[in-house]
């Protein structure tokens, strides 16, 4: 049985932490969130020499991310309580 906490993460949407109890007193925590990645746009000035210049434009892309960690059950319980105090629901 898994336990889930979520919170609003500004302009990138919702961040989620799912606590999966494992055997032998461990808990796996899977954190899912989105992040904005910015790329500076460049254009080719001279194909022969490979010269490029930045246009000043920035391309933004929303990229989904997942992070997994494992904690002892007691540490996971403390983390859960801390996150609840921070407003996670």
Higher per-residue pLDDT: 9 or 47: 47
Q: What is the mean pLDDT of the chain?
A: 93
**How would residue 12 be classed by pLDDT, with cut points 50, 70 and 90?**
confident
Q: Is the dihedral of CA 58, 31, 85, 89 positive or negative?
A: positive
Range in 5-14, 19-28, 30-39, 66-75 with the lowest mean pLDDT? 5-14
**What's the whole-number mean pLDDT along residues 30-34?**
95
CB 67 within 8 A of CB 89: no
How far apart CA 34 and CA 31 sit, in angstroms, is: 10
């Amino acid at each position: 049985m898994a336990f889930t906490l979520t919170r609003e993460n500004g302009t990138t949407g919702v961040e989620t932490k799912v606590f999966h109890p494992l055997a032998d007193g461990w808990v796996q925590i899977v954190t899912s969130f989105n992040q904005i990645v910015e790329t500076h746009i460049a254009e080719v000035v001279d194909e022969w020499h490979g010269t490029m210049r930045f246009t000043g434009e920035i391309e933004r892309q929303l990229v989904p991310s997942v992070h997994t960690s494992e904690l002892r059950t007691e540490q996971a319980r403390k983390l859960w309580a801390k996150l609840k105090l921070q407003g996670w629901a």
